[in-house]
C-alpha cells in the first residue's frame, strides 16, 4: 500500500499538470489567432490606405498631364492628330474614373465608400473645380474634333489653367488627410499589439511558475530513476552485446566484400601454372565460364586464339613473382573482340604456397571511343585540307577578278579620261582666247575627275588613312566613302574613344574584315542602314557591324561551302583566326544581321 500511494499521488499530480498545460496552450493559441486576425485586418486596412494615398497623388500628376496635353494641342500643334486627341481622351477618362472611385468608393480597387467627415468636406470643396476642368476639357476636345469654335478654345484653356492650381491645392489637402488618418490607424494598432504582447507574456509567466517548474522537478526525478536502472541493465548486457556486435559486423563485412568482388570486379584466382582456382561471377559471365570448363587453364577460357593463349601463358610463367599490368586484346567464344586492362598480383597464402590474383577492367568501350576519335580527327584533317584548297583557289580567283576589275577601271575610266585630256590639250588654239579659256575650264574639270578616279582605285587597293592614321580613321573613312558611293546610310561610332595604333598586319586584316562585312550587307542583305561600332577594353578590341537587311540562315550558309556566301563566311573565319581573334555571327531572316569581331590587343 505504501508503494501504491506515491504512485497514485504522482498520477493525480500529472493529470492536473496536463490539464493546466492544455489550458495554457489553448489560451496562447487563442491569443495568437486573435492577434493574427487583428494584425491581418489592420494590414489590409494599411494596404488600402497606402493604395488610396498613391492613387490620390497620381490624380495630381494626371491633372498636370491633362493641362500639358491641352497646352500642346492648343499652342504647339498646328494640326492636332487623332492620336494626340485620343491620348488626351484616355487620360481624361482615367482621371474622371479615379476621382469618382476615390470619392464614392470602388469594390474593384478596394476603396471604402464610408469616409470621415473631414474627407467628405474636402471632396465637396474640390468637386466644382474638378467639374470645371472636365467640362472645359471635354468642350476643348469637341471643338478640336469638329474643327469649329477654335477661338473659344482660348477661353477654355484659360479656365483649365485657372482651376488647375486650385485643384492641386485641394488635392494636396486630401492626400494629407488620408496620410493623417492612416497614421492614426497605425498608432491604434500598435497599442493593441502591445496589449496582446503583454497578455501573452503574462500567460507564459503563469505557465512557467505553475506548470513547467513542477513538471521539470517530476521529470528530473523520473529520469534519475531511469538512468539508474539503465546503468544496471547495461552493466549486465555489456559483454554479451559487444561480442555479438563484433561477430555480426565481421560477418557483414565479409559478405559485403565478397558481394562487391563477385558482382563489381572482373577478378579470378589462379595457380602459378595457370590453372583456375576461382573465377568471380561477373568475370565468369563475361567469359562464359562454367563448372564444366573448370579443368581448363586461365589462358584457354580467356581467349580462343592460340597465339594469344601462348602469350598469356608466357606472361604468367615469367611474371608470377614480380606481377604484371597491361592491356590485352582477347576474342571470346562468340568471336567478339574484348579489350581488358589486366593486373596480375602475386599473393603468398602461406609459406611455400603462392597464388596469382587477376583483376581486370573492361576497356572495350574506351578503345572503341579512341578509334572513333582517331577516325573523326582524320576526317576533320581531310576536311580542313579540302577547305584550304578551296580557299586557296578562291583567293587566286578573287585576286584575278580584282586585277581585271582594276585594269578595266583604269582602261575604261582613267585611260579614256587621259586620252580625252590629251586630245583636248592638242586642240587648244592660243590665238582664239575665248575658246581656249572654255577648253581650259573643261580640262580643269576633267583633271579633277581623273584625280577622283585615281583616288577611288587606290582607296580600294590600300586606303592611305590606314597607314597614316590607323584603324579608327580608316574605318570612319570607309563608312563615309561607301555611304557616298552606294547611297546607303552607313554610320561609324568609336564608342570608347579608341586611339591606339596596332601592328600593320592586324590593322589591314581588321580593315578587310570590316570591308567584307559591309560589302556583304550592301550586296547580299540589301540593307538600307548599316552601323559600325568600335569599342575596347584593356585586352580586347571589339567591332560590331549591324544591318537591317533580309538576314540569312547561318547553318544553311555553313553547309554551302562552295557557294559565294558560304565562302565569304569561311574567309572571315580564316582571316580572324590568322590574327588570333574570334568572329560571332547572329542573323534572323527578315530582320537583319549582326557580325562581331573580337581581337586581342
Averaged pLDDT for residues 367-384: 81
- Alpha-carbon distance values, 24 to 18, 204, 217 (Å): 10, 8, 19
In degrees, rounded to 5, the angle at the alpha carbon of residue 222 between the alpha carbons of residues 220 and 227 is: 90
Mean pLDDT, rounded, for 439-452: 74
**Using one digit for the tens of pLDDT, what is the confidence trace for 398-419?**
554 555 556 555 655 565 666 6
pLDDT of residue 268: 86
**CB count, 10 Å around CB of 29?**
10
- Name the 3-class secondary structure at 497: coil
CATH number for 4-226 (one of 3.40.50.150, 1.20.120.1730, 1.10.10.10, 3.30.70.2740): it is 1.20.120.1730
**At 549, phi and psi to the nearest 5?**
-75, -165
Distances (CA, A) of 343 to 277, 300, 325, 365, 599: 17, 18, 4, 19, 51
In this model, does residue 20 exceed pLDDT 80?
no
pLDDT band (50, 70, 90) for residue 351: confident
Run of H or E residues at 585: strand 582-588
Confidence of residue 530 (pLDDT cuts 50, 70, 90): very high
Give whichever of 96-110, 254-268, 338-352, 507-521 has the largest mean pLDDT.
507-521
Tell whether domain 265-362 is in CATH 3.30.450.20: yes
Please tell me the distance from the alpha carbon of residue 25 to that of residue 394, in angstroms, as a whole number. 90
What are the extents of the domains in the chain? 4-226, 265-362, 368-461, 465-600
Q: How confident is the model at residue 396 (pLDDT cuts 50, 70, 90)?
A: very low
pLDDT digits (tens, 9 = 90+) for 282-313: 888 888 877 655 677 888 888 888 888 899 99
Which distant-in-sequence residues (6+ apart) come within 8 Å of 270 by Cβ?
A: 276, 277, 298, 316, 355, 356, 358
Check residue 412 and give its pLDDT. Answer: 56
Percentage of the chain exceeding pLDDT 70? 78
* For range 536-553, the mean pLDDT: 92
- pLDDT over 70 (residue 565): no
Q: Which pLDDT belongs to residue 576?
A: 92
Is residue 584 over pLDDT 90?
Answer: yes
- pLDDT (average), residues 549-557: 84
Predicted confidence (pLDDT) per residue in 488-509, tens digit: 999 999 999 999 999 988 999 9
pLDDT of residue 183: 83
pLDDT in tens, 173-198: 888 888 888 888 888 878 888 888 88
Closest among 309, 303, 305, 265 to 287, alpha carbons compared: 303
Higher-confidence residue of 468 and 474: namely 474
Mean pLDDT of 118-140: 87
Ramachandran category for residue 399: left, alpha or beta (phi over 0 → left; psi -120 to 50 → alpha): alpha
Residue 8: per-residue pLDDT? 57
Give the largest CA-CA distance in the chain. Answer: 161
Cβ(268)–Cβ(358) below 8 Å:
yes
Average pLDDT in the 570-583 region?
88
Going from the C-alpha of 327 to that of each of 10, 268, 278, 480, 549, the distances in angstroms are 78, 17, 22, 68, 59
One fold for 4-226 and 265-362: no
pLDDT at 524 over 60: yes
State pLDDT tens for residues 258-287: 555 556 678 788 888 888 888 888 888 888
Residue 202 pLDDT: 84
Of 126-130, 536-540, 595-599, minimum mean pLDDT range: 126-130
Indicate the DSSP class of residue 73: I
Q: Which pLDDT does position 138 carry in this prediction? A: 87
Query: Residue 325: how many CB atoms within 10 A of its CB?
Result: 11
CATH architecture of 465-600: 2-Layer Sandwich (3.30)
Q: Is 126 exposed, middle or buried (0-12, 13-18, 19+ CB in 10 A)?
A: buried
Please give the share of the chain, as a percent, with pLDDT higher than 90. 13
Amino acid at each position: 500500500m505504501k508503494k501504491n500511494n506515491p504512485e497514485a499521488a504522482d498520477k493525480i499530480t500529472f493529470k492536473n499538470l496536463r490539464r493546466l498545460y492544455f489550458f495554457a496552450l489553448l489560451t496562447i493559441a487563442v491569443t495568437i489567432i486573435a492577434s493574427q486576425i487583428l494584425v491581418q485586418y489592420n494590414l489590409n486596412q494599411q494596404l488600402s490606405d497606402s493604395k488610396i494615398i498613391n492613387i490620390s497623388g497620381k490624380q495630381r500628376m494626371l491633372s498636370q498631364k491633362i493641362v500639358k496635353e491641352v497646352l500642346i494641342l492648343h499652342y504647339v500643334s498646328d494640326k492636332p492628330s487623332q492620336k494626340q486627341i485620343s491620348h488626351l481622351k484616355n487620360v481624361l477618362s482615367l482621371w474622371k474614373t479615379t476621382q469618382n472611385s476615390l470619392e464614392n468608393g470602388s469594390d474593384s480597387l478596394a476603396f471604402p465608400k464610408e469616409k470621415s467627415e473631414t474627407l467628405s468636406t474636402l471632396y465637396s470643396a474640390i468637386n466644382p473645380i474638378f467639374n470645371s476642368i472636365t467640362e472645359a476639357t471635354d468642350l476643348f476636345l469637341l471643338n478640336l474634333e469638329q474643327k469649329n469654335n477654335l477661338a473659344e478654345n482660348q477661353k477654355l484653356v484659360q479656365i483649365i489653367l485657372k482651376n488647375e492650381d486650385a485643384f492641386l491645392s485641394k488635392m494636396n489637402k486630401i492626400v494629407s488627410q488620408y496620410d493623417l488618418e492612416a497614421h492614426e490607424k497605425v498608432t491604434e494598432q500598435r497599442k493593441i499589439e502591445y496589449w496582446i504582447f503583454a497578455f501573452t507574456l503574462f500567460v507564459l509567466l503563469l505557465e512557467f511558475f505553475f506548470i513547467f517548474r513542477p513538471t521539470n522537478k517530476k521529470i528530473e526525478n523520473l529520469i534519475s530513476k531511469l538512468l539508474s536502472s539503465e546503468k544496471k541493465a547495461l552493466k549486465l548486457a555489456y559483454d554479451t552485446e559487444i561480442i555479438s556486435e563484433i561477430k555480426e559486423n565481421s560477418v557483414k563485412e565479409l559478405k559485403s566484400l565478397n558481394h562487391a568482388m563477385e558482382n563489381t570486379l572482373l577478378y579470378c584466382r589462379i595457380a602459378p601454372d595457370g590453372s583456375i582456382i576461382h573465377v568471380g561471377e561477373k568475370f565468369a559471365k563475361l567469359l562464359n565460364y562454367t563448372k564444366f570448363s573448370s579443368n581448363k587453364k586461365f589462358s584457354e577460357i580467356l581467349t580462343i586464339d592460340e597465339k594469344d593463349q601462348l602469350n598469356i601463358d608466357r606472361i604468367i610463367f615469367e611474371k608470377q613473382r614480380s606481377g604484371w599490368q597491361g592491356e590485352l586484346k582477347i576474342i571470346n567464344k562468340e568471336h567478339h573482340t574484348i579489350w581488358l586492362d589486366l593486373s596480375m598480383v602475386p599473393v603468398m597464402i602461406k609459406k611455400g604456397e603462392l597464388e596469382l590474383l587477376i583483376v581486370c577492367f573492361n576497356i572495350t568501350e574506351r578503345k572503341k571511343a579512341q578509334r572513333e576519335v582517331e577516325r573523326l580527327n582524320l576526317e576533320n584533317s581531310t576536311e580542313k585540307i579540302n577547305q584550304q584548297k578551296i580557299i586557296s583557289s578562291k583567293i587566286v580567283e578573287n585576286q584575278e577578278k580584282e586585277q581585271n576589275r582594276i585594269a578595266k577601271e583604269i582602261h575604261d575610266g582613267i585611260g579614256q579620261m587621259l586620252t580625252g585630256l590629251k586630245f583636248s590639250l592638242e586642240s587648244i588654239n592660243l590665238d582664239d582666247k575665248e575658246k581656249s579659256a572654255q577648253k581650259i575650264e573643261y580640262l580643269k574639270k576633267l583633271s579633277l575627275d581623273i584625280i577622283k578616279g585615281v583616288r577611288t582605285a587606290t582607296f580600294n587597293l590600300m586606303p592611305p588613312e590606314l597607314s597614316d592614321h590607323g584603324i579608327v580613321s580608316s574605318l570612319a573613312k570607309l563608312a563615309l566613302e561607301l555611304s557616298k558611293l552606294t547611297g546607303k546610310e552607313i554610320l561609324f561610332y568609336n564608342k570608347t574613344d579608341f586611339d591606339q595604333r596596332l601592328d600593320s598586319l592586324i590593322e589591314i586584316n581588321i580593315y578587310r574584315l570590316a570591308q567584307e562585312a559591309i560589302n556583304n550587307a550592301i550586296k547580299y542583305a540589301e540593307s538600307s542602314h548599316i552601323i559600325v561600332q568600335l569599342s575596347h577594353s584593356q585586352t580586347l578590341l571589339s567591332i560590331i557591324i549591324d544591318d537591317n537587311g533580309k538576314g540569312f540562315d547561318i547553318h544553311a550558309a555553313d553547309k554551302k561551302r562552295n557557294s559565294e556566301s558560304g565562302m565569304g563566311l569561311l574567309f572571315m573565319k580564316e582571316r580572324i583566326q590568322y590574327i588570333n581573334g574570334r568572329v560571332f555571327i547572329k542573323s534572323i531572316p527578315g530582320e537583319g544581321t549582326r557580325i562581331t569581331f573580337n581581337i586581342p590587343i
